[in-house]
């Protein structure tokens, strides 16, 4: 009962802390193209300017954050709870790679079907002109191959090439904002199709057989790459849309009347969303309270979808990568994975 009460307190604390974040979806998905273009060129007040006049709210929410994070850390490191949870969570580890593979396969297939790359703001026709049709076909083929686990390494290598082409065609924004996709591609290139795949069932000769020993030596880096890329993409999105181009976030607040639901001025809501989103990404990036954090992100992302009616398919990578990291747990290069190991075992929560 004691642990249930602590977990409930943590969940309630996170819920209140996340209120501003819940309503702020990915700005480029919920605003019209004209509004986005104007917001990118507009000059708006620095969100940290909202601190002045809101000092009390700022410190109250800071205290709530400290209490919530401290409670989570206490619950996560309690030895008895870890012993009880370890057998269950350890069994989930085998599902991490298949989940990552299905996630990548689904996203690539849907990119091809919709004629975009990573998000609806990046149509293939605008990026690659007459070659867009060929890339659509390749994306569909790559997606189906990865979904089936058929020569997945070769397919994700093709996806990595497309990622580089997007960099050359669009500059750094898209590759940095969507670096979580690259992290998932690198994971699959290193690990391969894994179990429950046609490669395994048919005992097919894997591609890149000559470098397999080298790839096997990189296995311990595969999930850290996914974790770091995922965390970085969350932090980059927070900095880009809620600090550098905060007019985007302000337009979301005004468009959906968020200040009607939250007793704060719009700029203070943007500031809260920026801090929360950036810290959540940083915690994943460093590997702190990772299982709690990815569930936090997935849960509130779902609420944002329901409230703003965003395109569901563009966030498959976030859901799938979050579930894969939850199942895999702490890798050896994560902060908690290195500092909180006990008896040679990784932390549980």
Cβ atoms < 10 Å from Cβ of 74 = 12
Alpha helices in 115-245 (DSSP H): 124-128, 132-148, 152-170, 173-177, 179-191, 198-201, 212-217, 219-239
Q: Is the pLDDT of residue 32 over 50?
A: yes
Confidence of residue 139 (pLDDT cuts 50, 70, 90): very high
Q: What is the mean pLDDT of residues 240-246?
A: 86
Sign, Cα dihedral of 253, 256, 257, 263: negative
Output DSSP code: residue 333.
T
Q: What is the mean pLDDT of residues 226-253?
A: 89
Q: Is the pLDDT of residue 28 over 80?
A: no
- Portion of the chain with pLDDT greater than 90, in percent: 40
CA–CA dist 69, 75 (Å, integer):
10
Q: What is the mean pLDDT of residues 296-305?
A: 82
Q: Is the pLDDT of residue 88 over 70?
A: yes
Beta bridge partners of 116: 123
Cβ partners under 8 Å of residue 254, min gap 6: 266
Q: What is the mean pLDDT of residues 33-61?
A: 80
- pLDDT value of residue 113: 95
- pLDDT value of residue 9: 38
- pLDDT value of residue 156: 96
Q: What is the mean pLDDT of residues 82-103?
A: 87
Q: Taking a C-beta distance cutoff of 8 angstroms, is the pair 198, 152 a contact? A: no
- pLDDT value of residue 19: 38
Q: Is the pLDDT of residue 236 over 60?
A: yes
Q: What is the mean pLDDT of residues 71-96?
A: 77
Confidence of residue 311 (pLDDT cuts 50, 70, 90): confident
What is the pTM (predicted TM-score) of this model? Answer: 0.85
Q: Is the pLDDT of residue 5 over 60?
A: no
- Residue linked to tokens 């000769």: 205
Average pLDDT, the chain: 83
Q: What is the mean pLDDT of residues 319-346?
A: 82
CA–CA dist 226, 285 (Å, integer):
9
Give kind and range of the element (H or E) at residue 123: strand 119-123
Residue 177: closest CA among 248, 240, 105, 115: 240
Q: Is the pLDDT of residue 7 over 50?
A: no
CA–CA dist 137, 116 (Å, integer):
12
pLDDT digits (tens, 9 = 90+) for 156-194: 999 999 999 999 998 888 889 899 999 999 999 999 998
Confidence of residue 18 (pLDDT cuts 50, 70, 90): very low
Please state the length of the chain.
Answer: 349
Residue 181: closest CA among 243, 239, 131, 122: 122
In the chain, the largest separation of any two C-alpha atoms, in whole Å, equals 66
Q: Is the pLDDT of residue 50 over 90?
A: no
Confidence of residue 149 (pLDDT cuts 50, 70, 90): very high
Q: Taking a C-beta distance cutoff of 8 angstroms, is the pair 17, 276 a contact? A: yes
Chain-centre distance for alpha carbon 42: 28
Q: Is the pLDDT of residue 13 over 60?
A: no
CA–CA dist 28, 122 (Å, integer):
10
- pLDDT value of residue 343: 60
- pLDDT value of residue 77: 66
- pLDDT value of residue 21: 41
């Amino acid at each position: 009962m004691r642990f249930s009460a602590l977990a409930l307190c943590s969940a309630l604390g996170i819920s209140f802390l996340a209120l501003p974040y819940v309503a702020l979806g990915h700005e480029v998905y919920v605003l019209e193209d004209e509004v986005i273009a104007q917001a990118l060129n507009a000059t708006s007040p620095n969100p940290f300017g909202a601190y002045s006049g809101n000092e009390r709210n700022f410190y109250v929410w800071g205290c709530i954050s400290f209490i919530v994070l401290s409670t989570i850390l206490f619950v996560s490191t309690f030895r008895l709870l870890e012993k009880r949870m370890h057998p269950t969570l350890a069994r989930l580890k085998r599902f991490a790679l298949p989940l990552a593979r299905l996630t990548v396969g689904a996203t690539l297939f849907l990119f091809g079907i919709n004629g975009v790359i990573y998000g609806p703001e990046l149509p293939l026709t605008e990026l690659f002109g007459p070659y867009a049709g060929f890339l659509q076909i390749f994306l569909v083929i790559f997606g189906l191959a990865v979904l089936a686990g058929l020569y997945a390494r070769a397919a994700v290598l093709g996806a990595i090439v497309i990622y580089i082409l997007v960099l050359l065609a669009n500059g750094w924004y898209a590759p940095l904002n969507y670096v979580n996709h690259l992290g998932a591609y690198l994971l699959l290139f290193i690990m391969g199709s894994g179990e429950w795949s046609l490669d395994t069932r048919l005992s097919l000769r894997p591609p890149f057989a000559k470098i397999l020993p080298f790839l096997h030596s990189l296995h311990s880096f595969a999930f850290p790459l996914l974790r770091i890329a995922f965390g970085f993409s969350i932090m980059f999105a927070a900095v880009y849309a809620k600090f550098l181009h905060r007019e985007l976030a302000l337009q979301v607040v005004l468009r959906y009347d968020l200040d009607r639901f939250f007793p704060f001025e719009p700029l203070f809501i943007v500031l809260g969303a920026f801090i929360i989103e950036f810290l959540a990404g940083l915690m994943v990036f460093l590997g702190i309270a990772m299982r709690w954090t990815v569930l936090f992100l997935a849960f509130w992302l779902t609420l944002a979808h329901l409230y703003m009616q965003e395109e569901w398919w563009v966030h498959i990578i976030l859901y799938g990568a979050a579930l894969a990291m939850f199942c895999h747990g702490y890798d050896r290069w994560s902060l908690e994975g290195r500092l909180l190991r006990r008896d040679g075992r990784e932390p549980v929560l």
